[in-house]
Amino acid sequence: MRIMGLDFGSKTVGVAVSDSLLITAQGLEIIRRKEENKLRRTLARIEELIEEYEVEEIVLGLPRNMDASEGVRVELTREFQEKLERRTGLQVTLWDERLTTVSAEKIMMESGVRREKRKDYVDKIAATLILQGYLDSRG
């Protein structure tokens, strides 16, 4: 069994997956799309990864505002959660993702990733941080 972590953005979805012991999260890839509302290929790719990695649960980052209020992105994320659950039949747990993108940026800066290259990795690292936080919370 593995758990998948997703960082859902307007045109990208960062993907991470746990190890089989549910201890660590590893970034897999960033799924990109041309338009925000075009999710068919994104969902199909997620299904392929679920099958390949034998995923039994999904953790989806919930982008609340810093004051814990919910904006438009939260509503879109909840809609994506429903689509994922319908399409995959898996439980999709929402996980507070506040500051994960900031943490991902900091990790890349400390690792010496050039500013212009950071956007190529930030969503995958954010998905990894979301999933690792969830795994850590399970004990």
Confidence category of residue 73, pLDDT binned at 50, 70, 90? confident
Confidence category of residue 29, pLDDT binned at 50, 70, 90? very high
Instruction: Give the count of beta carbons closer than 10 Å to the beta carbon of residue 103.
Output: 15
Q: Which two tokens stand for residue 98?
A: 């506040």
pLDDT in tens, 83-137: 999 999 999 999 988 767 666 677 767 777 677 766 767 788 889 999 999 999 9
**Predicted pLDDT at 41:** 95
Do residues 108 and 121 make contact, with C-beta atoms less than 8 angstroms apart? yes
In whole angstroms, give the CA distance from residue 97 to residue 5: 11
DSSP helix/strand/coil, 78: helix
- Taking the CA of residue 131 as centre, how many other CA atoms within 13 Å lie in the half-sphere pointing to its CB? 29
Do residues 133 and 95 make contact, with C-beta atoms less than 8 angstroms apart? yes
Instruction: Give the count of beta carbons closer than 10 Å to the beta carbon of residue 116.
Output: 7
Say which residues have a Cβ less than 8 Å from residue 100's Cβ, sequence separation at least 6.
Answer: 7, 61, 126, 129, 130, 133
